[in-house]
């Protein structure tokens, strides 16, 4: 599918990002393709929701992010709302989400426009809450990250049958998606969050913790990993629940099937709970409120120029080293396959590295 309109998400603090943006604009001008910058803000223009950003940019069918994985998440929230493809350009770091280096932008655009790229879909999350998310008056400056204005609180989905007050008993469906995770965390240092956590509608345990994380496989290498959670292949669908500093013996991650939603009810003696979506603080809940997290109907469409080397990136990103006892055996081969033979029939269809070219 050729490119018809491009939306740019630029890490404005990086000169390399601004230079790469100029390259994209020049490519667009040479091909007669409209290009607009999205997710920009100023004192007079607050940040918008994903649908509003996409509409303001004329509904681009390709979102290009110029920065790191954080910048990619900014673009992902817009792309997921408009079924757009998203291409991440990496600037100086090995990311799990970004695809091409800054000096390869023009070649990447040619590949996408000439239909030589592929699209990889990733699972995303959405949520329902007992009431609409709100940020208490005067608290917003405390919730901002100091670098940019806060995103607006998620609005109820237009197709929600229960309305903004959750009168039907199933809560308020929110018009929001998370590529990495939904986090419920304590608001103040001396008050833990106390949450009754349910899987597929059944109580697992009541937690007292600094936070709990509900992540996608894509997000398993982010906050969940830092909190001791497992690494999941981003090609699978699953819901990953990881408690952060729980005050209880059971501190393990639980991995659920995608049709097993995770719900958390805020207990009466809990401190206030901040709801973060992909690292952005989006609302505050209190005792008696609840949140349900489950797969979103929309999936993120990532542009890939070649086979995804997730496990190679994993080794590089975390600087994985081999066991000292294996030093005498020498460096193991980077790939496990015979480069000069056809793939056996029972292995056809499995994810394997391509044959080495002679």
Q: What is the pLDDT of residues 33-65, one digit of tens each?
A: 999 999 887 666 778 888 888 898 899 999 999
Instruction: Output phi, psi for 199, to 5 deg.
Output: -120, 125
pLDDT at 343: 84
Rg of the chain's alpha carbons, rounded to an integer?
22
Distances (CA, A) of 58 to 33, 35, 52, 63: 12, 9, 10, 12
* Residue 340 confidence (pLDDT) above 80: no
Which strands make up the sheet holding 273-277, listed edge to edge?
Answer: 254-256, 239-244, 211-215, 181-186, 273-277, 280-285
Distance between alpha carbon 298 and the CA centroid of its chain, in Å? Answer: 13
Give the tens place of pLDDT for each residue, 160-193. 655 555 556 899 999 999 999 999 999 887 789 9
DSSP state of 170: T
What is the C-alpha separation between 212 and 246, in angstroms, rounded? 9
Q: Are 26 and 20 in contact (CB under 8 A)?
A: no
Following DSSP, what letter does each residue of 113-160 receive, concatenated? Answer: HTT-SEEEEE--EEEEESS--B--TT-HHHHS-SSSPPPPPPPBPTT-
Give the tens place of pLDDT for each residue, 113-122. 999 999 999 9
What is the C-alpha separation between 258 and 81, in angstroms, rounded? 20
Q: Which is catalytic among the residues 69, 82, 90, 278?
A: 69
Band (358; pLDDT cuts 50, 70, 90):
very low
The helix or strand, by DSSP H or E, that contains position 317, with its residue range, turns out to be: helix 310-317
Q: What is the mean pLDDT of residues 1-30?
A: 92
pLDDT at 161: 58
Instruction: Supply the mean pLDDT for the chain.
Output: 89
Give the tens place of pLDDT for each residue, 61-107. 999 999 888 899 999 999 998 999 999 998 866 678 888 888 899 99
Q: How many CB atoms lie within 10 A of CB 40?
A: 16
Q: What is the mean pLDDT of residues 265-283?
A: 93
- Among 3-17, 153-167, 212-226, which is the least confidently predicted range? 153-167
- Give the burial class of 209: count Cβ atoms within 10 A of its Cβ; 0-12 exposed, 13-18 middle, 19 or more buried: buried
Annotated catalytic residue 162: no
* Residue 352 confidence (pLDDT) above 80: yes
Q: Of 341 and 145, which is predicted with more confidence? A: 341
pLDDT at 13: 82
For residues 66-91, one letter each, b for 16 or more C-beta atoms within 10 angstroms of the residue's C-beta and e for the rest, the string is bbbbebbbbbbbbbbbbebbbbbbbb
Distances (CA, A) of 302 to 75, 76, 218: 11, 9, 12
What is the sign, positive or negative, of the torsion defined by CA atoms of 225, 226, 227, 228?
Answer: positive
Strands 6-10, 35-37: pairing kind: parallel
Model-wide pTM > 0.85: yes
């Amino acid at each position: 599918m050729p490119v018809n309109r491009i939306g740019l998400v630029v890490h404005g603090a990086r000169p390399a990002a601004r230079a790469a943006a100029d390259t994209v604009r020049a490519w667009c001008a040479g091909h007669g393709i409209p290009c607009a910058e999205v997710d920009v803000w100023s004192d007079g223009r607050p940040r918008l929701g994903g649908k509003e950003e996409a509409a303001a940019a004329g509904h681009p069918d390709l979102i290009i992010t110029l920065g790191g994985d954080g910048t990619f998440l900014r673009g992902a929230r817009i792309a997921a709302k408009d079924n757009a493809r998203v291409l991440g350009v990496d600037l100086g770091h090995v990311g799990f989400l970004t695809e091409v280096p800054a000096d390869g932008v023009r070649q990447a655009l040619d590949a996408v426009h000439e239909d030589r790229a592929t699209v990889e879909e990733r699972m995303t999350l959405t949520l329902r809450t007992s009431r609409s998310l709100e940020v208490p008056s005067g608290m917003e400056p405390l919730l901002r990250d100091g670098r940019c204005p806060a995103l607006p609180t998620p609005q109820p989905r237009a197709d929600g049958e229960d309305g903004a007050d959750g009168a039907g008993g199933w809560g308020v469906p929110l018009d929001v998606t998370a590529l990495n995770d939904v986090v419920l965390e304590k608001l103040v240092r001396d008050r833990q969050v106390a949450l009754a956590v349910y899987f597929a509608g059944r109580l697992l345990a009541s937690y007292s913790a600094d936070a709990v994380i509900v992540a996608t496989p894509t997000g398993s290498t982010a906050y969940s990993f830092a909190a001791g959670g497992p690494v999941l292949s981003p090609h699978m669908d699953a819901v990953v629940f990881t408690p952060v500093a729980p005050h209880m013996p059971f501190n393990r991650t639980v991995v659920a099937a995608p049709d097993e939603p995770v719900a958390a009810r805020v207990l009466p003696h809990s401190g206030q709970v901040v709801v973060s979506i992909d690292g952005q603080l989006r609302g505050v809940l209190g005792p008696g409120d609840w949140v349900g997290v489950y797969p979103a109907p929309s999936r993120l469409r990532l542009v890939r120029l070649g086979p995804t080397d997730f496990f190679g990136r994993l080794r590089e990103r975390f600087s994985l080293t081999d066991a000292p006892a294996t030093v005498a055996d020498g460096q193991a081969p980077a790939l496990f396959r015979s480069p000069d033979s056809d793939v056996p029939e029972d292995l056809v269809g499995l994810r394997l590295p391509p044959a080495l070219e002679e």
